[in-house]
Amino acid sequence: MKLNQNQTPFLDALIKYVNEKISPFDVPGHHLGNAENKFKDFLGGKAFKSDVNAPIGLDSLPHPTGVIKQAQELMADFTGADHSFFLVNGTTSGIIAMIMSVCKAKDKIILPRNVHKSIISALVLSGSIPIYVMPKIDRQLEIANQPTVDDYKRAILRYPSAKAVLVINPTYFGAIADLKEITKFAHAHNVAVLVDEAHGAHYYFSKNGPISAMEADADLASVSFHKTGGSLTQSSVLLLKGERVNPVEVQKSLNIINTTSPSNLLIASIDAARHFAATKGQETMDVVLELSKYAREQIAKIKGFIPRGREHFLQKGCFDYDETKLVIELDHLDLSGFDLYYLLKEKYQIQVELAETYVILGILAIGTKKEHLRHLFSALKEISHQHYNRNIIYPRHSFSVSFPFLLVRPRSAFYAPSKRISILEAANQISKESIMIYPPGIPLIIPGEIFTSDLIERIKTYKETGITMLSDYSDGTVNVIDKENWKRFSSYQKAYLDYSSKRITTPHNDGYMMPFEGDEHQATFILLPFRKDTWRLGAKPARDAYKEVVRAIVKFEPVVVGIHPNIYDAVAGEFSNIENVSVIKVKYNDAWARDNAPIFVKKSWKLRTVDFRFNAWRGDEGGLYTNYYDDDKLASHVSKKMHLDSYYIDDFVLEGGSIHVDGKGTCLVTEACLLSKGRNPHMSKQEIEETLKTNLGVSKVIWIKNGIYQDETSEHVDNMACFVRPGVVALAWTTDRSDPQYKYSHDAYKVLKNETDAEGNPLEIVKIKLPKPMYMNKEEAKGIRGSRSNAKKREPNMRLAASYINYYQGKNFVILPAFGVAEDAVAFEQFKGLYPDKQIIQINTREILLGGGNIHCITMQIPEGRKGELLL
């Protein structure tokens, strides 16, 4: 501590003001206690004389410049913070302010499910989206402890766009998180750490207990100084450390939710409590910890009562335990915890903090005296004598706590129109309230989540077994969104219907993942080219090349060929003599099945599709043609024709060629493509990564900067790098320093060499030599017609994005492009080495290359599904 802590600037100023002979003409109207009332008689005149409203000399809490500022600086110095803010609306105001300061509307915040209701209020006020981690349940005491460090780490990795992680430290019952490790990991991923430290003010008093939020380098902590620090009820402190959060934003948030008439009694009590903590806190807490040890030793001798401390909580997986929480488990008593709570107060004048079914909790703090404990021991002995029966065995409750589907943000749910219905009729309704069960103190549902029949049955069971339910109403009704009278519901309707009728949420939530391309396929899907403004000579040379690819694939698996109505009658018959081929008539704008067909995800043998938006590779920001509406509808059409459930992603543009997965949780992408202005400019890199994880079922995304030079797709990854198999990546390579591709390839190599896959294994990188730069010639360009759809103009000397990486593989085969150049043979030998157990078929695909892609771009694998399932 750098400042002289042996001072109380605000308290001193208040005392000085009270001792002056003031003639008051301001509020409050009792005017220094000159109005008589019974409350004044009870408290005494000095309390009323101290109840003044920010007169000259006592500073302003919303804009402190004088003694409040000095007192807050002393608090910051004492706690190891950079800034402190006094709170007179309780820790609730601090929790709301710190979330509002860090999270704006639609920002994500990671938090444990056993949150205080003030945090739900903060979600409503800020508009942020909760990402829950489940605390560990102590089924013996029937209480919620902490999530593990790994739980927080997984959530941070899964949601890289999250702005903050909130940790409750300690829990009501004293469970401590490894706050230092959580903070270190969160900060390494640019995530702020907010701490609900309501029950941990005394951590700043002593070095012998758990570390404080500020010692753990958390960014913000809301601390109830009134709970264990000695100030008056409702007085708390918000602490800020570091530069991740702007103190001006914190003060602005506080000014929104704090009263403009703060109680100077509360502010003075904070100033005095800090002074006591700084000057006598260590020695006082040493006494409290000794009393805690003494209490457990004595209670352990009384039949029917088991004091639970550090040993118990560490066995239950907690990182540490707060010994000032006196947790007493009931054993063989004909009383519940709730019965004991009331008995202690009504018969023995002993007030404990709270009760659960088989537990009571007492708080030991700086005001605890030994005679208080002796009084408790005496009462427990008498209760034991009267109520202990060794034949009594407590029934244990079974908890099955899961997260309902969050359809609507808590803020939107709060403001939506409402109706009250019987909880028995609430299935598939969207909640407008929280329903909490005690024990273990976890919300079963919060605003914006959907009731299910299973959840309703659980609620009925909990009620029947005597578990306490906390909700807005106690008459068996619940508050839900009135969908029929909510104009905004139309934007949620598709997701609502998917969930309510089919329990479809997201691929990640539902356990689906995009499988590896080299696994077993049911078939391959291909579209035939027909555009005259992309393909030369009416697309006939390109169709011939496509047919060669089809002939190669059908040696190993069926091929479904989609043919546009404009050419169906003319060309469908060309496939009649090719075995293992089926044709369908379907509308599309161009023949790139990799990019406009659905992406298939899999769970065991079950298949679903993911239908991303398609805008012809950048839409109005350089897209390759302007009318792409049939392309955008193709995925939905194919999904329905296959009778597969589909995830419709209405706000995210993605082509299949812009991703490559290993089937084990890893995805390759390029920044040049996914961060391009014409795809998802409203999203950050972290939000895009999160969307990929949600909708592909992957857990890690590896970003390389560029793809192939002048690839008109904005450099799709499937032309640059791909998984040969899990753990092995093939990378397009050149040693020609004069070629711009040289930097692209070498930069990508550096990234991949330093990366690991989703399972933490290093990647093996195989360099695949590129052909020398290739260009469209005059004759080729001459055969391409213009059109009204503003397709990209193809001109002589346009560089072509030729790459051997743009190949297609199945379980037993590889279809490899060739370009009629010397490097073709080199590539063929390389691939024979890469795939010793697969047949390599090389096809000259220059005609496909002229259209802007290659073999991988024109194919989409349909993974193996249920046996005998009809596909198309």
- Tokens 């009318």 belong to residue: 627
Active site residue 722: no
Residue 211 and residue 180 in contact, taking contact as beta carbons nearer than 8 Å: yes
Chain centre distance of CA 491 = 22
Question: Contact 676/731 with Cβ under 8 angstroms?
Answer: no
Instruction: Check 103, 673, 722, 857 and give the catalytic one.
Output: 857
3 state SS of 577: coil
CB atoms within 10 A of CB 301: 10
Length of the chain: 872
What is the spatial distance between Cα 620 and Cα 359, in angstroms, rounded to a whole number?
A: 64
Contact present, 785 and 775 (Cβ < 8 Å): no
Distances (CA, A) of 658 to 97, 438, 668: 40, 48, 8
Say if residues 324 and 289 touch (Cβ distance below 8 Å). yes
Token couple for 339: 């019965």
Between helix 337-348 and helix 370-387 the angle, nearest 10°, is: 120
Which letter, b or e, does each residue of 135-160 get, where b requires 16 or more Cβ atoms within 10 Å of its Cβ? Answer: bbbbeebbbbbbbbbebbbebbebbb
Contacts of 7 (CB under 8 A, 6+ apart): 74, 275
Between the CA atoms of 518, 521, 523 and 526, what dihedral angle is there, to the nearest 10 degrees? Answer: -30
Query: What's the token pair of residue 845?
Result: 């695909």
Tell me the CA end-to-end span of the chain in Å, nearest whole number.
74
DSSP state of 628: -
The residue type found at 442 is: I
From 323, 340, 324, 351, select the one nearest 380 (Cα to Cα).
Answer: 340
Handedness of CA 837, 843, 847, 849 (dihedral sign): positive
Task: Give the residue numbers marked as catalytic.
Answer: 857
